[in-house]
Structure 1
Amino acid sequence: MDAETEAGARSRLVTLAGARGVSLAALSGLIGRNTTYLQQFVRKGSPRKLEENDRKTLAQFFGVAESELGAGLREDAVVTGQGQGQGGQGMIRSPLPGVRASLAEWADIPRLPLGASAGPGAHAAEEIPSGRLRFSNRWLKAQGLEPGMLSVIEVEGDSMEPTLRDGDEILVDRTPRPTRAGIHVIRLDDVLLVKRLESGPGGTLRIISDNTAYPRMERPMQDVDVLGRVVWKGGRL
Structure 2
Amino acid sequence: MKLIENLAALMERSGDNPYSLARKVKARYGTSPTQPTLARILDGTSREPRRSSLQPVADYYGVSVDALFDDDLTRRGEGAPVSTPSRGDSLSIPVTDAWGSMGLGAPQPEHEAIVSGLTVSMDWVRHSLPRISHPSRLAVLTAFGRSMEPTLEDGDTMLVDRGVSEIREDGIFVIALDDELYVKRVQRRLPDKAIIIKSDNPHYEPMVVENGDRNKLEILGRVVWVWKGIKL
TM-score category, normalised to shorter length: 0.5 to 0.7
- Matching residue's letter, 2:90: W
| Superposed displacement of residue 122, structure 1 | 1.2
Match of 1:123 in 2: 107
| Superposed displacement of residue 235, structure 1 | 2.5
| Superposed displacement of residue 162, structure 1 | 0.4
* Distance across 1 between alignment mates of 2:226 and 2:147: 16
Q: Secondary structure at the match of 1:222?
A: helix
Match of 2:202 in 1: 212
In the superposition, the TM-score normalised over structure 1's length comes to 0.54
Note if contact 2:160-2:225 (Cα within 8 Å) is conserved in structure 1: yes
* Distance across 2 between alignment mates of 1:234 and 1:153: 11
Q: 1:135 aligns with which of 120, 127, 145?
A: 120
| Superposed displacement of residue 223, structure 1 | 2.5
* Distance across 2 between alignment mates of 1:188 and 1:178: 14
- Matching residue's letter, 1:150: L
Q: Secondary structure at the match of 2:136?
A: helix
* Distance across 2 between alignment mates of 1:138 and 1:235: 21
* Distance across 2 between alignment mates of 1:227 and 1:193: 10
Note if contact 2:165-2:219 (Cα within 8 Å) is conserved in structure 1: no
Note if contact 2:156-2:228 (Cα within 8 Å) is conserved in structure 1: yes
* Distance across 2 between alignment mates of 1:122 and 1:150: 21
Q: For 1:140-155, what aligned pairs fall within 5 Å after superposition? A: 140-142=125-127, 143-145=130-132, 146-155=134-143
Note if contact 2:88-2:121 (Cα within 8 Å) is conserved in structure 1: no
Q: 2:188 aligns with which of 194, 199, 203?
A: 199
Q: Gapped runs of 5+ residues in structure 1?
A: 1-101
* Distance across 1 between alignment mates of 2:92 and 2:152: 23
In the superposition, the TM-score normalised over structure 2's length comes to 0.55
Q: Secondary structure at the match of 2:215?
A: helix
| Superposed displacement of residue 144, structure 1 | 3.4
* Distance across 2 between alignment mates of 1:140 and 1:236: 20
Q: For 1:1-237, what aligned pairs fall within 5 Å after superposition? A: 105-125=89-109, 126-142=111-127, 143-145=130-132, 146-176=134-164, 178-179=166-167, 180-200=169-189, 201-220=191-210, 221-237=214-230
- Matching residue's letter, 1:228: G
Q: Secondary structure at the match of 1:186?
A: strand
Structure 1 consecutive aligned stretches of length 4 or more whose deviation exceeds 6 Å: none
| Superposed displacement of residue 103, structure 1 | 10
Q: Gapped runs of 5+ residues in structure 2?
A: 1-85
